[in-house]
Chains A and B, each alone.
Chain A
Amino acid sequence: MSRRVGVLRFPGTNCDRDVWQAVEMAGDRPEWLWHADRFDAAAYDALYLPGGFSYGDYLRSGALAARAPAMRSVREAADRGVPVLGVCNGFQILTEARLLPGALVKNQSLRFNDDWVELEMKNPVPHFAGPVGPGARVRLPVAHADGRYYVEDDELKRLQDNGQIWFTYVKNPNGSVADIAGVKSEKGNVAALMPHPERAMRNWMGGSDGFAFFKGRG
């Protein structure tokens, strides 16, 4: 059954149209949600925070967007158990909003890095990447300058113990702690990753492993 999916747009979001297209490819119904407006947290079957450079990445990546009015509704939805997926800048926004643990800091190379990476699933998030199980590998593009996942040691241990690490990089491209590419919330309905599944929907894009992320079992 097709799901009603809210796609958030902040000033500077630039993967919004790509995510919209991916949602449609997966047979769901996307709707725009505007950063300045609150929305009904009960109205959506899933919420997507696309990548980009919200507020130009000024101050800290995701910092200004995390304080937008729409994010208060995202928090309410997350509390109600609505699946929330953040990609790239969406991941940065979710950590800045404290909906996910940790922070994303400058890549070890201090440069933007555009590449294809291989990921290994550690713990599943059934809402997204449904068909893929733990240990499975997927190939997706990354494109970020601030993608190095950082958490303190004790927090890392907590993530490991709780099974909150969603994906790790097979070959770490940015210096992330414990090769982490994606994490999920304690309850498991909020999840995010730095690589871009919406850019790997069809073979002509260079790969179609991203498709599964938009085909939840939720």
Chain B
Amino acid sequence: MAESTSGLDTLELDAKLKKYRLNRHELGLITEILGREPQGVEWALFSALWSEHCSYKSSKVHLKKLFSRSKRVVEGFGENAGVVDLGQGERVAFKIESHNHPSFIEPYQGAATGVGGILRDIFTMGARPIALADYLCFGEPAAPRMRQLLDGVVRGIGGYGNCVGVPTVTGQTEFHESYNDNILVNAMAVGLFAEGERVFLSKARGAGNWVVYAGAKTGRDGVHGASMASESFEADSAAKRPTVQIGDPFFEKLLIESCLEVMAQDLVVAIQDMGAAGLTSSSFEMASKGGVGLRIDLDEVPLRDPTMTPEDVLLSESQERMLLICEPAKFAAIQAIFHRWGLDACKIGEVRDERLVELAWRGETICRIDPDALVERAPQYMRAYKPWKARNRVGGEAEVSTGVEDGARFLLSLMGHARGTSREWIYKQYDSRVGAKTVRDCSDSVAVLRLPGSGRGLGIVLGCRPHVMRWDAREGGIDAVAYPAIELASKGFEPLAVTDCLNYGNPEKEPVMSEFVASVEGMSSVCEKLDAPIISGNVSFYNETMGRNITSTPATGLIGLRADVDGVPASRFTREGETVFALRLPMAAIGGAAQELTRQPATGYGQLEPSLIAPFTRLLLSLTGARPGGPIVGSSRVVGKFGLAYALARMCEGGVGCRIDDEKLKTVRGELSVDDLFREHLYEVILTATPGKDAELEAAVREARGALAMAAFLPIGRTGGRALEIGSLLRSPLDLLAQAYGTGVWARMETGSDKTGEVRA
């Protein structure tokens, strides 16, 4: 292609392709679809909608294989968020999404607009947002800008979520050097449809219906944001920033109320928020999904800056804007509702039968194009990858060394280390109870909301443990669903459905793509066994800075359901003299997070078997769920990062200690060593019975275990005292642990006087 028909020479063409982030192959495809080369704003349209961010061109071939249906799924992929039927007239919409690149550039606004965007995905479907959760990955606390990024992101999430009146009920915060130059900010939102409330979709319908623009005016914010999110960071990323998008939670609150009111009165045919690639993606997607055409008069779009070009108008990512389709006769009523809430709504176009999107500007038609060309016909790449081979394996459990010798000293240093310490400094900055549904908040391992209609409990938990991903991507993918599912089950919640936010490096690099495929397959296989489909999410590729990729991080959000909210097991010991039980499904053991801190190479033994995870959650549920005679499990915790000693220390947070018996521990684990106390056995759950129910709990396990002979259940000790004692291996006074675990690290980090806790093995 030396000389193109449009008269551009090779250099000019290359410059244009670079500007619009398209390649020659893609230009060829566009030319084939259009029967000519793209012109004018078409370049910008293809650039935005064929970007990785909007088109999923590197991931779609694999995402199609995800387990995504169950009898509970009302809406899955393709809509703004997935919707699940909880029965009894209640349905929830939920989704998780990334805002990594914007948050690295401007942490406060990046995180804030991430929250705003995910909330719009929820209420655009007609659901009232009832909860937020955040999955955050930061670099090492001492890395450049990291304190500022952490502070800005936390303030941004709080600033937006608190103001808009949606509680932040759970979260996960990771620290690792692989995120030093590329942090992850993933926000999940959950919305509730009460009985009789309709689910609204984004399919435009009905020739002659009006296209209505509502909410904030359009400014130059984030023009080309979608294609930027599809690129790696370079050293000069500071220099090529588009105008930062500013979020206004106050405005969003008004938008939520007005949109929900408009939908409650059944005034709209279809609705979609203007997110990535703004008006372009919302209009073309609504047309494509509805199988109709639209004519949009760009001069009617309310602008903040009158000097904007049509390209700017189409690509602006100004926040808090919605696109609605309505019957002409209903427009006045819609406008009245928006006005009452102090917002504007105006007609900017019409729906047509002919499947063409026609854009007009200053009286001229500047674009006439089949919406499917942009939405459905983007290229799909089968990026190079290799079939997964297990890695970092050793011959046996005993070889999985964490290198820890002084258990008490190591445990104490973990409690004060950024990776092990309390997240209270973070979550105290979030309103956890607005909405008056919160039963368990960020201080617990699973968030619990009470569904007002039925009085049942909705459990929310985030997943993906990057240190497991660093050990082995396939196992890490399985764990990203299995671990949170077991957490839900440990509190009596049946896992129902999953949303995922797939954060990876550059998909054009084979090792990255290989991890992507392996982990996504791992996730999907567990979902299928659990009958908990993946119903929404997004993919964030190109989390790469100057050639360095992040840890592949498939963050997940799971929701679960239980029949009541009263019998949810505590996460801490509450009474002295109780028997401490361990329920185990021994499939694998890894050196895990402890190994990373002691700078040992990552090793592990065994492998996770998805087909065993479902029966294990069912076994747990039979113990922890609501029972006619009242609950029999008083407290529970899944043993996670840093292994058993750390999990027990967390269970002692309430001030009730425990004493674990050497001999019993040896019976359970087959080995008695300080090293083993910090290994991570997949999977292991600590339980205590409610008062006087030990025998009943043991009987219940015997009864339910039939289906899972591999599972072991044994008493390992008793609660009581003011110390954590693990036989002859470790003794830590609770006040010392509590002191180390307090908010000290954060407070010192805030003032810059301390970088992070020091680890002593």
Contact = CB atoms under 8 A, between A and B. Distances in A.
Given A14-B164, A204-B450, A58 B250 contact: yes
Contact of B253 (A53, A111, A114): A53
Main secondary structure on A side of the interface with B: mixed
B414 to A, nearest CB: 25
B666 to A, nearest CB: 40
B436 A198 contact: yes
B311 interface: no
A204 B253 CA distance: 27
Contacts of B254: 11-12
Interface string A17-34: 110011000000000000
B165 to A, nearest CB: 3
Given A52-B165, A143-B162, A199-B436, A112 B430 contact: yes
A204 B433 contact: no
B100 interface: no
Contacts of A73: none
A143 B442 CA distance: 14
B566 interface: yes
Contacts of A12: 163, 250, 253-254
A182 to B, nearest CB: 18
B428 interface: yes
Contacts of A196: 433
Nearest to B439: A204
Given A196-B433, A204-B450, A205-B439, A112 B158 contact: yes
Interface string B395-424: 000000000000000000000000000000
**Interface range for A:** 20 to 34
Contact of B434 (A15, A22, A57, A58): A15
Interface in B248-283: 248-251, 253-254
A14 B253 contact: yes
Contacts of B162: 53, 112, 143, 145
B436 A143 contact: no
A199 B435 CA distance: 8
Contacts of A198: 436
Interface in B433-487: 433-436, 438-439, 450, 452
Nearest to B435: A18
A56 B428 contact: no
A78 B434 CA distance: 27
A205 B341 contact: no
Contacts of B385: none
Interface string A53-66: 10111100000000
Interface in B204-251: 248-251
B165 A201 contact: no
A115 B428 contact: yes
**Interface range for B:** 20 to 34
A18 B164 CA distance: 14
B177 interface: no
Contact of B430 (A14, A55, A114): A114
A114 B249 CA distance: 18
B193 to A, nearest CB: 16
Nearest to B455: A204
Contacts of A56: 163, 248-251
Contacts of A6: none
A147 B399 CA distance: 55
Contacts of A172: none
A113 interface: yes
A90 interface: no
B77 interface: no
Nearest to B433: A199
Contact of B341 (A11, A21, A145): A11
B103 interface: no
Interface in B550-609: 565-566
Contact of A201 (B159, B164, B436): B436
A188 interface: no
Interface in A123-157: 141, 143, 145
B438 A55 contact: no
A118 to B, nearest CB: 16
A25 B750 CA distance: 42
12 contacts: A11-B250, A12-B250, A12-B253, A17-B436, A18-B436, A52-B434, A56-B248, A56-B251, A57-B163, A113-B429, A196-B433, A205-B433
Given A15-B165, A112-B430, A114-B433, 4 more contacts: A11-B254, A12-B254, A14-B165, A18-B436
